[in-house]
Chain A
Amino acid sequence: MSMLIIQSLINGILMGGIYALYSAGFSLIFGVMGVVNIAHGDLLMLGAFITFWMFIGLGLDPFLTLPFSVAGLFVLGYLMQRLAINRVVGAPPIMSYILTFGMHLMISNLALVAWTADPRAVTTAYSGANLAFLGLTLPWIKLITFLISLGVIGLLYWLLNHSQTGRAIQATAQDREMARLTGIKVDRIYALTFGLGAAITGLAGSMVVAFQDVEPGMGLPYTIIAFCVVVLGGMGYIPGALIGGLILGIVGSVSTMLFTSGWSIAITFFLLYLMLLFRPAGITGKGIVE
């Protein structure tokens, strides 16, 4: 029994890393421009499909397609911000919910027309292969995804605090007017941030398709998980995504083991609710509170 608990804990930690990876971009975008991006899951879906089609068409290994989904999603995110989302920066958050919900409808349904509702999966020679020791199993792909997740979040955190662009992004997030006065091109920073957030999300999508089936309508549930993860870890605080992701992953997995998978979802959401009541700035206390 205790082995099972340890295994479920490991599953939860790995899942948590994956949650964190696809929530980091969401947190970045919210933290900098206060925009809740409901089309977040659709960006993830696009990243997944870039990988899928390159795998099918060119036979490229999913990991080799990462640069393409990162670049593709960066451009798309940059344009989305410039053309539409910039109009709701600074407006009440509800405006960004609805605007990006409209975008969610557009992206997911265009994808549906283009690619049909077939669930797709990338099956490589190493799909499902795992590292087994002491009676425990760690699927390689999830392990690598977890490490990439740590790397990306670390890099992002470092970039924001130590690079010039990163500091400009931070300054803009803290005080838009002040940033403008010091000569930062605020609109460009916003577009850059959105592009960066989209690029990380595209990367997450490319990783997800390596172990899970994807289809054009998959986006909204991923958005919802990202929202929960980010609120739990603290809105706008990047390492919070990792903490929030791990909590959701571990609680979900261990309560599935102890009770049933159905109750595990109820427990996870009740826990999320209670945490919000008692720690509205997220578990780290470093989130933005309005």
Chain B
Amino acid sequence: MKLKKASIVVMALALALTLGTAAPSLAAKDFTFGCAVPLTGLFGKAGNLVKDAYTLWMETVNAKGGIAGKYKVRIIFYDDRSNPQTSAKLVEKLITKDKVDFLLGSYGSSQVMAASAAAERHKFPYISGGAASNKLYERGFKYYFGTLGKATEEVRGNVDVFNAMKPKPKTVAIVGSNIPFTALACVGYKKYAEKYGFKIVHYELFPIKLKDYNTMLLKAKSKNPDILLVGSHLGVALRVMKAMKEIDFNPKAVAFSYGPTVPAFVEALKSDANYVFAASEWTPALPYKGPVFGTAKQFHDRYIKRFGRAPDYVEAASAGGCVVQQVAIEQLGLKPGKVGKAERVKLMEKLHALDLNTFYGPIHFDKDGANREHPPLAVQVQNGKLVTVYPAKWAEKAPMYPMPAWKNR
């Protein structure tokens, strides 16, 4: 009897779920944006950063009355669980069921590959500020845009900063996790290290699920490199730091492609995070300025006020993508309720044509959808704070180099 009741409840629930999926009615005075980001799974952390960046943009725009001063912005968020199949499905859902006017891009190369392919089929411009795989731009897509640099170029600051050192270090070891962005970061490291005449004494890609980093790094340690260059996400960066201390690995410097710019890095490692370098595309110290957010510094301050933490370059690049789409919409004079296929084709053409200065720096998309290269930057953790150390003209402080041995810290 109990069994029967319970099963009726389950069945009824299932029925209610299938019948209850009516599309929400939208006020025609608003623009609806759709966004499927990873909120859980491997990229759950980073996806949430992107979601925050979009939320801040929405709130900032709406506080000024909306797009063109009168059309409020609404964003529908979905969780793609860091899974490309789900990401593509959710973008289809946003377009065909929720009937959003525009899309916002996701984080993570795999998901963005799948999601942008769905967007391309429906002729929806798709701007991502959180994916950098070079493969994104090799598909001949017209509707895909990326505000970040290509993964191989993005890490250039990490090599440039050491090339400018006097005396110049001689040898580098390169390690990185074997997923698209970080593996390509290693390709980029290799390219620039060879170009500047560094000797590469060790090169290894390791699986993302590797548990024990000690032995993997021991091999790099045994080659005694001056510099350790790491292709990393936040979690990988943390594990590399912990393992380096445990095995007493003391190169003159260590640099990460991504991780240290996220505030959680310094929070977790405390003073052990000092001396670490990271490549960046953007810092609040840059003299960038543009519509919506004002200067880079103003964006940074507003972000801290809203979320209690500093934004990193992925968040800036994501918000930058919103700004460029907003400006394109405003310049075309698009109106809510009147955005159809023809309007979005125009929007795509407009995005390709725009040459815009923003708080995130210049945004000008090439034919393949890649943003014009930003100058390579390097930041460093000094006394628990991130400071820009390269290039010299924007540097807030001189780089602290070499890093003292672990036992002398």
Contact = CB atoms under 8 A, between A and B. Distances in A.
Interface of A: 4, 7-8, 11-12, 15, 109, 112, 116-121, 123, 127-128, 130, 132, 137, 139, 142, 211-213, 215, 217, 221, 225, 249, 252-254, 256-257, 260-262, 265
B211 A225 contact: yes
Contacts of B235: 119, 213, 215
26 contacts: A4-B218, A7-B215, A11-B214, A11-B215, A12-B212, A112-B44, A116-B48, A119-B234, A119-B238, A119-B264, A120-B267, A128-B406, A130-B246, A137-B248, A139-B247, A213-B235, A213-B242, A215-B45, A215-B235, A221-B209, A254-B215, A256-B212, A260-B204, A261-B207, A261-B210, A262-B205
B183 to A, nearest CB: 11
A183 to B, nearest CB: 29
Nearest to A221: B209
Q: How large is the interface on B (under 10, 10 to 19, 20 to 34, 35 or more residues)?
A: 35 or more
Interface stretch (B61-69, B268-276, B335-343, B368-376): B268-276
Nearest to B212: A15
Contacts of B56: none
A254 to B, nearest CB: 8
Contacts of B219: 4, 256-257
A257 B270 contact: no
Interface string B358-372: 000000000000000
A8 B218 contact: yes
A127 B215 contact: no
A228 to B, nearest CB: 12
Contact of B204 (A128, A132, A261): A261
Q: Would you list the 10 A-B pairs with minimal beta carbon distance, nearest first?
A: A128-B245, A117-B44, A261-B206, A121-B268, A139-B246, A117-B45, A213-B238, A256-B215, A253-B215, A261-B216
A12 B215 contact: yes
A257 B269 contact: no
B269 A123 contact: yes
B284 to A, nearest CB: 21
Contacts of A142: 246
Nearest to B269: A123
A109 B406 CA distance: 37
